[in-house]
Amino acid sequence: MNHYLIVYRSITQAQLAGRALDRAGIGHQIQRTPAGLTERGCSYSVRVPERYGRQALELLQGARPAFYTIFKGSGGSYAELVP
């Protein structure tokens, strides 16, 4: 299933983003960022199904806390997107 990973530096930041998505009715999951995707060590991601991707990115773009990066996942592989 295609999805987006919106990467944050900490679990707290990811949880704050998750609450904003909850208020907007956007389905998501909070998870550890898969190893090897970031060089910054431990980070957490908000995983959003592709069908909610544009809406989630518009909501979180410019929000505080700011996300670190975004990946699009498909079939076990990831591509980094430019925010």
Say how many domains are in the chain.
Answer: 1
**Domain assignment of residue 81, yes or no:** no
Torsion over CA: 38, 83, 5, 45 (sign): positive
- Quote the pLDDT of residue 83: 58
The CATH code of the domain that includes 46 is: 3.30.70.260
pTM check: above 0.85? yes
| Domain span holding position 15 | 3-75
**Domain assignment of residue 82, yes or no:** no
33-81: pLDDT as tens digits:
988 888 767 899 999 999 999 999 999 987 888 888 999 998 888 999 8
Contact 55, 11 (CB under 8 A): no
Residue 82 in this model has a pLDDT that exceeds 90: no
**Domain assignment of residue 59, yes or no:** yes
**Domain assignment of residue 55, yes or no:** yes
